[in-house]
């Protein structure tokens, strides 16, 4: 938890600093060493996260199963492993709700309102899952599903969230079964 949180904070600072000096050569030159050191620190965080995953009981095999899914890498895999080990007996719906990816109904009587994300979970995990959805939408495995959701009239953000929820459900199923991802079993 702490490693993921601290890495996210450093990444946010690094990105903001890099963007602020992007078109200003003199400040960019002055901060080049600092930016390089921050980038090295981010890589060290990633190594520490990978080591922490290996030290968990059954962490390496479970992590290997989770990251076998296209679109899920080190950071998202570690966040999902943390999520799944906290609630191993939960339902898939509960796991989707933990990071706040579940749709919140806005209904009253016969009126059906627009559904929005509940956002009642860890924002960092939700961000990582959204990024996994973006990465997944670029793969041959998940692109047809993303495009099908877009064809239904969903915005790109909504379609990516649908894909992120699907990734969580599949990762949780694989975590429980211990099986590697099989692309042929994905139904478009």
Over residues 88-134, the pLDDT tens digits come to 889 999 999 889 888 877 767 787 777 777 788 888 999 999 999 99
Query: Interior CA angle at 74 toward 137 and 87, to 5°?
Result: 95
- What was the pLDDT predicted at 43? 96
- What was the pLDDT predicted at 102? 85
**Whether the predicted pLDDT of 183 surpasses 90:** no
Asked whether 7 and 42 are in contact (CB, 8 A), the reply is: yes
3-state secondary structure of 50: helix
The C-alpha torsion from 14 through 20 and 22 to 25, rounded to 10°, is -110
Nearest to 43 by CA among 81, 14, 82: 14
- Which of 29-33, 58-62, 73-77 has the largest mean confidence? 73-77
pTM assigned to the model: 0.84
Q: Average model confidence (pLDDT) for the chain?
A: 90
């Amino acid at each position: 938890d702490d490693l993921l949180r601290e890495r996210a904070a450093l990444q946010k600072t690094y990105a903001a600093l890099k963007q602020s000096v992007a078109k200003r050569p003199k400040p960019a030159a002055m901060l080049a060493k600092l930016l390089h050191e921050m980038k090295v620190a981010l890589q060290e965080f990633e190594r520490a996260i990978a080591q922490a995953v290996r030290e968990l009981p059954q962490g390496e095999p479970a992590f290997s199963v989770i990251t076998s899914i296209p679109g899920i890498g080190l950071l998202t895999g570690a966040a999902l492993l943390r999520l799944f080990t906290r609630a191993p007996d939960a339902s898939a719906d509960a796991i989707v709700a933990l990071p706040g990816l579940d749709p919140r109904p806005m209904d009253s009587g016969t009126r059906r309102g627009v559904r929005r994300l509940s956002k009642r979970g860890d924002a960092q995990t939700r961000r990582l899952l959204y990024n996994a959805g973006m990465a997944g939408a670029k793969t041959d495995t998940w692109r047809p599903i993303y495009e099908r959701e877009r064809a239904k009239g969903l915005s790109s953000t909504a379609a990516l969230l649908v894909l992120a929820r699907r990734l969580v459900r599949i990762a949780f199923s694989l975590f429980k079964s211990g099986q590697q991802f099989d692309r042929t079993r994905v139904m478009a």
